[in-house]
Structure 1
Amino acid sequence: MSSPRSPLLCPVYAQVPNACTNGMVDLGTTLLESLQTVEEAHPDVQGPIYGSQWRTVKVYVRLHGSSAPILCPLKHHKDMGSPQVEWHGPYGKIYSGRSKRIKDDKSLVFSNAYPDLSGFYTCTVQYYYNGQRDISANTFEVFVFTDPEVSFNMAVTYQIDTCSNIDMYLVVDKMQEVLNIMLQMLRCQVVHPKMNCKLDKVSGVSSASMHIIFQLDAFGRSWGDACKQTHIRDCTDASNSRVEKARTLIQNFFHKQEQMLRRMDPKPIIHYIAGSLTMERLYNCKPGYGIHNKKHHTCSNCCVVCHPGSYSATHETKCQGCEDSVTYGEVTCRQFGKDL
């Protein structure tokens, strides 16, 4: 026996061509299967994002960016009138404004997105057919996101005669000073240098090696001015570009030391060990954002606004739990009238 058919169950769904015939739909066809698989819209999707009657659809909108059109599947039949479509969000019924716009096709579009736009949105569609009212609703959860900010952990090793040589502390200070002067134009900086010295014995000959670790980040002096020069409010791309250029400059700096040392005989008492520079790329999120690989499958490498019940006060990649956080993008945890 064939599946029941009804003109009220024939949504216009772009991903399922020829699903409707003469205003009818077979509920056992690929239309049902396709709608059941809808869960998350890819953050870079350009085409329309359709709702699902079976589950909430997650929508990702870039910070200060615009979304693709968000649509409820509409039903078409010759005996139906035009549907009445209403959108409701976290703050009630939605009317077109600066950041939210309802287009002629009843789709919802976000622009200049900010964290407070995150939340649940419901599209309610109402029809009248043969004196009967038909109502359907689709729910979307909107998340504002941004790209991670990149920094680097770096390490180098210098050879020294003995760990009691106090000049090794001057080497660390001078290295940081020289690198920061070199990186000044990029508004990047070398921070948190740490050093430890280890005594080595090879074939009865004593020597020592000093291991220096430091961090390269994009938030040096006047970094905010560099952000303003990009003429955008979210300057993550600009800061990541600057830190990548700074990484290359540091690589070249130590490569030149290698070249100079090849021509020196004897070598200085304290000198860079060729090839010892190592780098580890780090990812950070703005306060109020975190990376949630399990919760946001299609935006697994995005910094997504922290969900209610969590917050992030630092540039870490995880949102921390907080029962009293009730809005998206919280940067503090308020408990019993106090900020944690």
Structure 2
Amino acid sequence: MRAWVLFSAVLWYLTGAGWQRSSERTGKGLIYGKPGHPVKIYVKLHHSSPILACMDFKRAKKETVDPTYSWIGPNEKPLTENNQINITKTGKLKMEDFQEALSGLYTCTLSYKTVKAETQEETVVKQRYDFMIFAYREPDYSYQMAVRFTTKSCEGRYNDLLFRVLKKILDNLISDLSCHVVEPSYKCHFVKIPKHGLVHELFIAFQVNPFAPGWKGACNDSADCEDITNHNILQARDRIEEFFRSQAYIYYHDFNKTIPAMHFVDHSFQVVRMDSCRPGFGKNEGLHSNCASCCVVCSPGTFSPDVDVTCQSCVSIRVYGAKSCT
């Protein structure tokens, strides 16, 4: 039986009839340096970096004689090729399976010669390019939701029964997505409705997140499980929204229909997305304006121990992605 049909039957059982309320980044292309200006780059965790060119765009359009390239990594040591780092003969750098520890300042020095045609005099020119590279991951989504239901009275057991039945139905509606309802609560208020006087209403609030027991089983060993959990929570949001839309349709598409005393208040459904970051990551719109919605790896001097959205200060930390202040 569809969830909204079942819930409608429960409402009729609880209270019978009542009055009716009217409804009124840069992709993976080539990235050039900028002389005198560090270029910020954000690479998704466990993904490949874009290709970094050891020259600026203006120089790339010109002939370059006897070029040599020297890359220095975040540890201030020359970069050497390995299974994660690839440097071409033309000085292009690309990194695979990017991780927190690869974040930091990358410096490339381009050396080349200028040759005077009339004298063949050679001059060596050196130019430095800085790239600040940060690992990031998508935030984990959850949704804060609120709805309202009319009720006969703020006293009695029916309000609590409605609340528990609603939570159970919503949990069942999204359980196959490894999502669940958490932190549910309700309060009863009396509300002055224009032309109708005072009515009692239940103000119900709850949060939906994609971390129901066993949620890791949906990841299928994926390194980017937030892509899967975020996809699931978006589906859960849509299902819950459709559930309440169906409630409104049942009771409000026919204004002559008698409806239960306890029923969904049309247009009362509200939803707000709440973001959180994994430990070692946080948001900082001022520092990372080009990736403001991202959870960016915590820089040295900061850490994030839990699913907060900011990195906290800790002067003793010297690494990227710290999860504790030690």
TM-score tier (shorter): 0.7 to 0.9
1:49 corresponds to 2:31: yes
Partner of 1:30: none
Equivalent AA in structure 1 for residue 54 of structure 2: C
1:100 & 1:51 partners in 2: Cα distance? 18
1:168 & 1:116 partners in 2: Cα distance? 53
Partner of 2:312: 320
1:133 & 1:207 partners in 2: Cα distance? 85
Q: 1:100 aligns with which of 65, 85, 89?
A: 85
Partner of 2:171: 180
**CA offsets, 1:107-165, max 9 Å, x none?**
11011111111011111334577576544322211111122222211101111122122
Kindly indicate whether structure 1 or structure 2 has the higher relative contact order, using CA contacts under 8 Å at least 6 residues apart: 2
Q: 2:43 aligns with which of 61, 68, 84?
A: 61
**What residue ranges of structure 1 are gaps of 5+ in the alignment?**
1-42, 335-340
- Report SS of the residue matched to 1:329: coil
Partner of 1:274: 266
Partner of 1:39: none
Deviation of 1:168 (Å): 1.6
Judging changes above 3 Å, is the alpha-carbon distance between structure 1 residues 220 and 44 closer, same or farther for their aligned structure 2 residues? farther
Between 130-139 and 91-100, the greater mean CA deviation after superposition? 130-139
Between 241-250 and 192-201, the greater mean CA deviation after superposition? 192-201
Partner of 1:239: 229
8 A Cα contact 1:66 1:109, kept in partner? yes
Deviation of 1:232 (Å): 3.5
2:205 & 2:303 partners in 1: Cα distance? 30
1:154 & 1:137 partners in 2: Cα distance? 52
Judging changes above 3 Å, is the alpha-carbon distance between structure 1 residues 201 and 100 closer, same or farther for their aligned structure 2 residues? same
Deviation of 1:201 (Å): 5.6
Q: 2:74 aligns with which of 90, 102, 120?
A: 90
**CA offsets, 1:25-49, max 9 Å, x none?**
xxxxxxxxxxxxxxxxxx3233321
2:156 & 2:314 partners in 1: Cα distance? 49
For residues 120-159 of structure 1, what are the structure 2 equivalents within 5 Å? 120-127=105-112, 134-159=125-150
Partner of 1:28: none
Deviation of 1:276 (Å): 1.4
Partner of 1:189: 180
- Report SS of the residue matched to 1:120: strand
Judging changes above 3 Å, is the alpha-carbon distance between structure 1 residues 135 and 303 closer, same or farther for their aligned structure 2 residues? same
Aligned-residue RMSD, C-alpha: 2.6
Aligned residues: 288
- Report SS of the residue matched to 1:194: strand
1:120 & 1:250 partners in 2: Cα distance? 45
TM-score by length of 2: 0.79
For residues 5-20 of structure 1, what are the structure 2 equivalents within 5 Å? none
1:244 & 1:77 partners in 2: Cα distance? 51
1:331 corresponds to 2:323: yes
Judging changes above 3 Å, is the alpha-carbon distance between structure 1 residues 44 and 127 closer, same or farther for their aligned structure 2 residues? closer
Q: 1:292 aligns with which of 269, 273, 284?
A: 284
8 A Cα contact 1:152 1:217, kept in partner? yes
1:276 & 1:206 partners in 2: Cα distance? 17
2:94 & 2:82 partners in 1: Cα distance? 10
Between 130-139 and 205-214, the greater mean CA deviation after superposition? 130-139
Between 121-130 and 280-289, the greater mean CA deviation after superposition? 121-130
8 A Cα contact 1:191 1:215, kept in partner? yes
1:305 & 1:213 partners in 2: Cα distance? 32
1:57 & 1:299 partners in 2: Cα distance? 13
Equivalent AA in structure 1 for residue 179 of structure 2: C
Partner of 2:245: 255
8 A Cα contact 1:126 1:134, kept in partner? yes
Q: Give the share of equivalent positions with the same residue, in percent.
A: 30
2:131 & 2:198 partners in 1: Cα distance? 68
Deviation of 1:266 (Å): 5.1
8 A Cα contact 2:145 2:269, kept in partner? yes
**What residue ranges of structure 2 are gaps of 5+ in the alignment?**
1-24, 115-120
Equivalent AA in structure 2 for residue 47 of structure 1: G
- Report SS of the residue matched to 2:260: coil
